[in-house]
Structure 1
Amino acid sequence: MKIIISLATHVGLVRSGNEDAIGLLGWALQGHRPNPLTLSMPLGRTHLGLVVCDGLGGHSGGATASRLAAEFLSAHDGGPADGPEERRGLIWRVREAGRRLDRAAEASPDLQGMGTTAVGIEFSPEGTAAAYNVGDSRAYRVTEGMLGRLTTDDRRSEQGSILTQALGGGSDPDPHVFEIVPQLGDRYVLCTDGLTDLVPEEAIAGIVAALSTSEDRFNTEQAAGKLIHLALDAGGNDNVTVAVAEVVAG
């Protein structure tokens, strides 16, 4: 099997800068990248990390925090497999990402108070994977045509968009981890709240759970672009970042 991944990030219609970042295999995509970048990679041969981060603490600090976390979390050369040791290792790495942000903030007054959300999926050579998050960026999985959320929002809805935990800020977060076994035909969406605060899950499902036919095959690049435009059509009051992936034969 292989996985096709399309990545896009848009500054939105209100903000002047983009504090989001996408990490893939230790490399970060950041800035205004509205045209999706699409890559194809094998599954089951090596570890593969994909993460989306939404920075906090002002443009300079937020952008730095999301980039540093995206690079570190997606670069890990040992991914999750079955068993408690691997799960503990994943939790340690998420917390270590926060500690690295704290050390960077201590070294630069311009970065004081920076932090980021993080949502990611790690695929292992053993054929297993784990979705994880800290904050309110989300991961979804489409399997057998049904959209399911893999992550848990860390925010108090009764107080608006108040995050209950994030990476950085001297905290010791407790990441949510959801272990999965990827199947042929699975689709995944990782996104920031710039999408989910404005676009209902039913609308997201309408795009990423679309049936493929011999004449009209599902396209991750088109899906990522459509999700970005849904957020913009709904006001685009925040940065919006998406990663859309599909497991295919190959």
Structure 2
Amino acid sequence: MPARLRAAAVSDVGEFRAVNQDAAFAASWGAGVADGVGGGPAGDLASAALLHRLAAGSPETRDAEHLASRIRWANWDIGAHTRRDPALAGMATTLTGLWFGGSGELLLAHTGDSRAYLLRDGLLSRQTRDDSLVQALVDQGLLSAEEAAVHPRRNVITASLSGDDEDTVSVARVDAVHGDRWLLCSDGVSDYVPHDELERLLVLAPTPERAADWVVRVALDAGTRDNATAVVCDIVPAPERVSPEAPVFVGAAAARFLEGLDSA
């Protein structure tokens, strides 16, 4: 049976940041979170520009190669901003997103340290590998996962989208199983909410809207010092005939570029 996403997104600037550099969108055909790279200029512009370019125009995504091409085009748009204004040089963003392909397959795109988790049959599993300094140290056996979680350089990432032709992003095909629940989140959530607590929240929440709200609230209550963003997507049956819905944007993407967005 054909599937679609029932998706909801929530983002909060948090108590310790003046600007929300997280951006997210949710729609029946796709969803994503992008986190502007801290320490660089205009992270909010980078994350919002990327997601709006990806969500603009037709929502159709044929396959993994087509999605990778769309991401490269959106990344070029970040570079265009930098070429117009050299003061923006160095701005960059992470990306973690889900899209349905033309044959009904689900595609997972990822670069940076935003994360995707899958809740299936009550068990939560992490579906992305952080592109980060501490993850590399864990892979080399130099740090434990527990040490990495509190390492002072845990937010140093090794891959992002900055408008450079050399930027990389992975696109993987994953199963679209009815009843699955996906969480896409920024590190303002994953650095502060333990895996077991994320699992508990996602199991208990009756809807994606409630789940996304709970996850962000718990991150804030845990004292996150970053922006906190959660996108929760349920895999549900798709009606035979449905018009593509316009995406809902939150965070930086709700504050920038909404004018002129064509979702038809």
Normalised TM-score (structure 1): 0.79
Q: 2:95 is paired with a residue of what secondary structure? A: strand
CA distance in 1, matches of 2:114, 2:132: 10
SS of the residue 2:19 aligns to:
coil
1:3 aligns with 2:5: yes
- The one-letter amino acid of 1:129's match is L
Q: Return the alpha-carbon distance in structure 1 between the equivalents of residues 38 and 235 of structure 2.
A: 35
Q: Deviation at 1:54?
A: 0.4
Q: State the Cα distance separating 1:139 from its structure 2 match.
A: 1.1
Question: What does residue 50 of structure 1 align with?
Answer: 31
Are 2:189 and 1:207 aligned? no
**Root mean square deviation of aligned Cα:** 2.2
User: 1:193: which partner in 2?
Assistant: 187
Cα distance in structure 2, aligned partners of 1:22 and 1:89: 21
Percent identity (aligned): 32
Separation in structure 1 between the aligned mates of residue 223 and residue 38 of structure 2, nearest angstrom = 22
Kept in 2, the 8 Å contact 1:113–1:169? The answer is no
For residues 19-55 of structure 1, the C-alpha deviation after alignment (integer angstroms, 9 at most, x for no partner) is 1111346xxxxxxxxxxxxxxx4xxxxxx23111101
Q: CA, structure 1 residues 7+122, in 2 after alignment: closer, same or farther (shift >3 Å)? A: same
Q: Aligned to 2:167, what secondary structure does the other structure show?
A: coil
Offset of residue 235 of structure 1 = 0.8
- Residue type of the partner of 1:10? D
**1:58 CA displacement:** 5.8
User: 1:172–1:97: structure 2 CA closer, same or farther, 3 Å change rule?
Assistant: farther
Residue 13 (1) aligns with residue 18 (2): no
Supply the distance in 1 between the matched residues of 2:17 and 2:81 (Cα, whole angstroms).
25
Cα distance between partner residues in 1 of 2:195 and 2:38:
28
- Cα deviation 1:83-107 (Å, max 9, x = unaligned): xxx3233223223322221121110
Distance in 2 (CA, whole Å) between partners of 1:3 and 1:123 is 9
User: 5+ unaligned residues in a row in structure 1: which ranges?
Assistant: 26-40, 42-47, 81-85, 211-216
Shift of residue 163, structure 1, vs aligned partner: 0.7
Residue 245 of structure 1 corresponds to 233
Aligned 8 A contact 1:127 1:181 in 2: no
8 Å Cα contact 2:188/2:227 also seen in 1 = yes
Which deviations, in whole Å up to 9, do the C-alpha atoms of 1:113-153 show, x marking residues without a partner?
A: 11100110011342211111110011111122221222221
**SS of corresponding position for 2:196:** helix
* Structure 1 match to 2:158: 164
- The alpha-carbon distance between structure 1 residues 126 and 169, as it changes in their structure 2 partners (threshold 3 A), is closer
Q: Deviations over 1:57-82 (max 9, x none)?
A: 668611111111011223463314xx
Mapped contact 2:77–2:163 kept (Cα < 8 A) = no
Q: Distance in 2 between matches of 1:160 and 1:74?
A: 30
Deviation, structure 1 residue 154? 0.5
Aligned length: 218
Structure 2 unaligned regions, length at least 5: 138-152, 240-264
Q: Which amino acid aligns with 1:132?
A: A
d(CA) in 2 for partners of 1:169 and 1:162? 19
1:99 to 76, 79, 92: 76
**Worse-superposed segment, 217-226 or 13-22:** 217-226
Are the counterparts in 2 of residues 17 and 59 from structure 1 also a CA contact under 8 Å?
no
Helix, strand or coil for the counterpart of 2:11?
strand
